Structure 1
């Protein structure tokens, strides 16, 4: 997992070219007047999702992982918490949606040492297949957030 800010460009040099391209996309994209959208930048290799949603209490959100894509989540408007913990292989599957949308939803794992990442405008988090994450959790109360999610295909 990588956590950063869109203005901290000096850290990007160490990232893979595809991740740098995803960050650049977030930096250049104006989502102010956009609703929920799905844009295929490079066919299935790089997909941009514009998410316009309302955060909810952590307990209402499911932990999830992806296998085919790394996922960059960039906060454009509003604030949320994203839960994160490493996938140690001890999670029970609640719903397997790998074929349809490259997502496995896990049941609550009481032994997981979950860290809550504070996402404010300009921050991003990048999740890899071994990173369980729980997006769209409210900070103090539910609020509308707008973010860009860039799905970057991994070499398999």
Structure 2
């Protein structure tokens, strides 16, 4: 897991270099909701606008085939995280690369993702997004999907 600001641009990870090259050429804050292919299924972007809610209304998720790079464009949300070895996996949906999780056995961490910040979730990083920080609010987020 990596938690950082857009303004910090020294990367060890090649995929982050590609993402920030894309961001230098494109103002994603003006993109409509939906999927945008950057390198076919190897690297693509989902733009999503939604309202935050209570953690009880959200589900845990993880992925086997993709790294998620969550970048907050507008608003803020709390993201809960845990490690994959500390969860019970109910089912894996290969068509959508979605790991269904029924129970967390270990510690949970919480991160507030503010405008201008990003969180990288690797396949071992279970996460719950869209949780209220102080009150319900509309957020706009860019989620880059990077094939492992």
Q: Is this a same-fold pair by TM over 0.5?
A: yes
Which residue of structure 2 lines up, in the alignment, with residue 68 of structure 1? Answer: 65
Matched, 1:106 2:101: yes
* 1:11-68 CA distance string (max 9 Å, x none): x2x22x1222123434553233433110111111011000111111011111110010
- Structure 2: runs of 5+ lacking an equivalent: none
Return the TM-score normalized by structure 2: 0.91
Matched, 1:115 2:109: yes
Q: Once superposed, what is the RMSD of the aligned Cα atoms?
A: 1.7
Deviation at 1:8, TM superposition (A): 1.2
User: 2: CA distance between counterparts of 1:125 and 1:114?
Assistant: 16
* 1:91-128 CA distance string (max 9 Å, x none): 142x532x22111121242x331111110111000011
Which residue of structure 1 lines up, in the alignment, with residue 139 of structure 2? Answer: 145
Deviation at 1:89, TM superposition (A): 5.4
Which residue of structure 2 lines up, in the alignment, with residue 85 of structure 1? Answer: 82
Deviation at 1:136, TM superposition (A): 0.8
Match of 1:133, SS?
strand
Residue 19 of structure 1 contacts residue 152 of structure 1 at CA under 8 Å; is this kept in 2? no
- Structure 1: runs of 5+ lacking an equivalent: none
Residue 89 of structure 2 contacts residue 99 of structure 2 at CA under 8 Å; is this kept in 1? no
Residue 78 of structure 1 contacts residue 145 of structure 1 at CA under 8 Å; is this kept in 2? yes
Question: How many pairs are equivalent?
Answer: 148
Matched, 1:2 2:2: yes
